[in-house]
Structure 1
Amino acid sequence: MTEADLRLAKWVVDGELAFAELFLTLQQSDDTKVQYDTLSQDGDTLEQRLARAFGHARAGGWLSEFCTNCVTARLVSRGFIEEAIKQTASPWMVKAQALIDADSPFLNSALHAKGLLHVADYVCRIEIDGRHAGTGWLVPPDMVVTAGHVLTSSATNDPLVDIDKQEEADPFRVVVYFDDKVDMFGGRRVRRKPREFLLAERWLVALNSPPIQPGGIVQHGLDGQDYAIIRLAEAPLPMAKRMEMKATLPYHEDYLLVMQHPEGQAMCHQQGNVTGLHVTPGLFQHSVNSEPGSSGAPCFDVNFRVVGVHTGEMLGVTPASNLATAIDQVAATIAQLPATLPSNWPYSFDDADGVPWPIVDREQTLAWLREACTDDHQRGLMIRPPLRMPAGMTFTAELFKALLPQELHRVVRMSALDIHALGAEAFALQLLAAVGKSNATPFTPPQGDTTSIAYLRNTLVPELLARLDQARMERHVWLLLDDLKRPDAAHISLGDGNNLRELLDLLYEALAGYSWLRIVLLGYEGTPPRASAAYWSEQTLPELTPARFSQYMEKAFAGVPDIKYRARLSKQYKIVTTGQSAEANLHCMATTCGLFLDNMRSL
């Protein structure tokens, strides 16, 4: 045991048992493994016993690995890393030190105040049956994270969710309040009237709620992380970016700030420190004051990254301590959610150039798109434009491309203006190239006296689908056919003088046998093919007017937390659009909305 070993030992904070288990696990050979307790001598202090373990690892040549794993398991506080770098020169440790330097515990006053104001817009209060139940925080645009026991608590005789009968929960019992804050008006403190939000029809996204006894949590009494993710019917902050979630466990003595609604009060915050890791993996203890009703509150580090979800008070612990669920499982759950539709009503989407466009009166189309991504019975969609405003098809195609993530879907958009003169084989080769199979070999040619339709049905189409299946790489293939019916002189019928129409009709029929294929026909005026009619849906787009865009923008402006800026945006929009005729160009109206949406993103 040396002075260097003692300098490492003084930073060990999470108890001797976990340290001893790690010491034994890292030793390579079962024949030469040394038990931690056999190294100690009579009269050794805790620090000396720990130091002897570091000395043994040093002599065996695995001190760097031992130190790295002590940090990973959070058995040490942050000061350990600086000392370990001096003694091991571990590249991993150097990188960890750089991250810690960025998490300086000293608070920059101006930045801290700005951070508080920013995250306050995300925190919400949750009521069940008109009674305050807990705190939560927004994952834009429309999800709220809280503690799982907020929904399952037996503090009342009628918890919202019965773990064994989750489908029976009534979402109408819940109201979520944002902007429940105290402001200064005329030199007086006034509690602001909060904004109310109800839950969506499919509201329960994730729930993990281990049993918690009334009054608090015993030290060994929580089996697993405690969190829930619920979905709102509308987006409180439709243009907001998500708060950063730091999915690694915090260190002992790390700064911690909790934004909360204790006992249903207006939003407030308390700060303290991480006091240690809990015996249950994925939980940590902290010293931040809280009250009943604080459960589910976000726990922030010094850089206002979410590191945990406040769970509750620990019982029988000295000194007094609270418990929080680390954010790793919550972050992983959110990351795995289908990216197809991040909201029940997306406010906008970005085109390929990053320009925002509004989504107005497309609820029916979005509902179909959601089902098509999760239900094998929705594979084909025929969309017709409104009679008095035959437009919006190109916008619909861009909407699909923007909302379908490339890692899960391969979206191919083809315009009738470009493909109308192609023969069946030329179209098939172009489709293969669009899904990534360039330089494809020619298809098997017709044999003997085979008719054109027989060749397409029995050879070319099956071969095309087989090649698409190989090229798609486990992704869904979406074929968007645009400009099938144009309102102007540019309209050209598909397949005039060639066999393209017959090939497309066979593809429409093929939906019944290929669960990975989706086809969207924009401007189509035909009827679904009989062989696959059960897999097709039909829609007619509603007519859009300046009034509908104005209603859309007022709803978007309502999500701006700053009341004065909200009013100014609304006034500017009215000035720009005043006098716009009912026949105003659809693209012009959408562009105007997009400019305002882009401006709102800078908030």
Structure 2
Amino acid sequence: MTDHWQPSGPWMSRFREALAQAFNAQSIELLTVDHFAPNTFENIAPAGPGRTFAYRLQELINQARMEDWLLDLVAAARERRPANPVLAAIADERGLTASGARLDNPTGQPLQQLIQANAQFITPAVFSARLPVLEGQICWIDIPGGGGTGFLVGPDLVLTNEHVIRSIRDGQPSWQRVRCWFDHQVPLGRADLPRKKRTEVALAEQWLVDSRPPSRFDWTPTLGDAGPEETDSALIRLAEAVGEMPLGGSSSDPDAPPREWIRYDPAARLAVGRQVFLLQHPEGEPLQLTIGTVTAFNAAGTRVRYDANSKNGSSGSPCFDADLRLVALHHAHDPHYPPSWNQAVPIEMVHQVWGKHGVTAGWED
């Protein structure tokens, strides 16, 4: 993924200065321990008389460049300090996100141009700062024989599709065999690079909080009017409150931000012609950011279609507007290839049905 990239001296100086502003010697050591190998910083750049923190950081950067894990260091630093605008800008310049998510953008327009044309409240820089936080809140639901995407809507609550978890609900396979994978990453440089393992969380014993069925219209070429209770949604509980733990997994760094969860914004809406952004784990692959355009709503407003790409395993993905507000729950795509449409349930439908049945998640905090 590095494409034989050779960073310039000014780029490395800017990265070093960004690291020095965002970390100290203890927290950079914790970063390298958490993401690479024990004592990485101390081994590469030991402390000593006259060896300033800036000098040691330059040694770390030089080693990472020589061993082809510099981009992984950039991504790790951005994940640990997602609100740092300089680290975000440096990562964006190389097309990186906190999880190394790939970008699927069939619109032909630059990402910044799409954001500027569609966002109501934020700028591309703010979009870039919010994106890595959202990435840490998406998971692959690993089910033997299947699976799907899901996302945190509370400290220990994941929202996905009913059809994703149907086999578990029916006991084949058992819920004990299911794991939710957060931080599902691959190295950006060397394939053999030791990276921190993904964060795997089991289901709670009382794992199914709420489920609502899909509609018989959901996989037909013509948009039908799915009923207000047909949200194809499932709220599942995890065995651990992963949303209260640091982004990227456990760490001793006191400044590591908590993962948190995706909030519901009643003002967020999609419109025909606007861009939609999906964060998904297609077929269980590492995270992918897909961009598309909204093409249609059904008459009842209970389904929305768009041309963003998806695959099996994308079911349960969150859909966002250009302000990165949650707007829909992706759940279906054209069964023909190449597909001519993809489809989601507007998130206000899920919110309404939960309110009707007294289901609480924490996403309105």
Q: TM-score, normalized by length of structure 2?
A: 0.54
- What is the letter of the counterpart of residue 121 of structure 1? G
The answer as to whether partners of 1:132 and 1:264 remain within 8 angstroms in 2 is: no
Which of 111, 114, 134 pairs up with 2:126? 111
Structure 1 residue ranges without an equivalent (≥5): 1-100, 153-158, 343-404, 406-603
Measure, in 1, the Cα distance between the counterparts of 2:221 and 2:302. Answer: 16
Deviation at 1:254, TM superposition (A): 1.5
Which of 151, 173, 178 pairs up with 1:174? 178
Question: 3-state SS of the aligned residue for 1:203?
Answer: strand
Which of 221, 235, 247 pairs up with 1:229? 235
Deviation at 1:241, TM superposition (A): 4.1
Deviation at 1:271, TM superposition (A): 0.5
Deviation at 1:246, TM superposition (A): 3.5
Measure, in 1, the Cα distance between the counterparts of 2:359 and 2:284. Answer: 31
Which of 264, 277, 292 pairs up with 2:297? 277
Closer/same/farther in 2, CA of residues 280 and 218 from structure 1, 3 Å limit: farther
Measure, in 2, the Cα distance between the counterparts of 1:125 and 1:212. Answer: 26
The answer as to whether partners of 2:141 and 2:147 remain within 8 angstroms in 1 is: yes
Deviation string for 1:33-54 (max 9, x for gaps)? xxxxxxxxxxxxxxxxxxxxxx
Does residue 208 of structure 2 align to residue 204 of structure 1? yes
- What is the letter of the counterpart of residue 128 of structure 2? A
**1:125 aligns to what?**
140
- 1:415-430 equivalences under 5 Å are none
Question: 3-state SS of the aligned residue for 1:201?
Answer: strand
Size of the alignment, in residue pairs? 230
The answer as to whether partners of 1:273 and 1:288 remain within 8 angstroms in 2 is: yes
Which of 318, 330, 335 pairs up with 2:350? 330
The answer as to whether partners of 2:207 and 2:237 remain within 8 angstroms in 1 is: yes
Measure, in 2, the Cα distance between the counterparts of 1:105 and 1:189. Answer: 40
Which of 146, 163, 172 pairs up with 1:149? 163
Measure, in 1, the Cα distance between the counterparts of 2:176 and 2:320. Answer: 31
Deviation string for 1:559-594 (max 9, x for gaps)? xxxxxxxxxxxxxxxxxxxxxxxxxxxxxxxxxxxx
- What is the letter of the counterpart of residue 270 of structure 1? T
Does residue 340 of structure 2 align to residue 312 of structure 1? no
**Greater radius of gyration (CA):** 1
Closer/same/farther in 2, CA of residues 313 and 331 from structure 1, 3 Å limit: same
Deviation string for 1:503-556 (max 9, x for gaps)? xxxxxxxxxxxxxxxxxxxxxxxxxxxxxxxxxxxxxxxxxxxxxxxxxxxxxx
The answer as to whether partners of 1:136 and 1:146 remain within 8 angstroms in 2 is: yes
Deviation at 1:211, TM superposition (A): 5.4
Closer/same/farther in 2, CA of residues 180 and 334 from structure 1, 3 Å limit: farther
Structure 2 residue ranges without an equivalent (≥5): 1-115, 245-257
Measure, in 1, the Cα distance between the counterparts of 2:352 and 2:184. Answer: 29
Which of 181, 192, 197 pairs up with 1:193? 197
Which of 122, 134, 153 pairs up with 1:139? 153
Closer/same/farther in 2, CA of residues 338 and 280 from structure 1, 3 Å limit: closer
Bigger helix fraction: 1
Measure, in 1, the Cα distance between the counterparts of 2:200 and 2:270. Answer: 34
Measure, in 2, the Cα distance between the counterparts of 1:286 and 1:117. Answer: 24
Measure, in 2, the Cα distance between the counterparts of 1:338 and 1:227. Answer: 14
RMSD: 3.7
Closer/same/farther in 2, CA of residues 245 and 263 from structure 1, 3 Å limit: same
Question: 3-state SS of the aligned residue for 2:147?
Answer: strand
Closer/same/farther in 2, CA of residues 222 and 236 from structure 1, 3 Å limit: farther
Deviation at 1:113, TM superposition (A): 2.0
Deviation string for 1:399-440 (max 9, x for gaps)? xxxxxx9xxxxxxxxxxxxxxxxxxxxxxxxxxxxxxxxxxx
Deviation at 1:210, TM superposition (A): 2.1
Deviates more, 1:178-187 or 1:283-292: 178-187
Does residue 169 of structure 2 align to residue 161 of structure 1? yes
Which of 294, 304, 307 pairs up with 1:287? 307
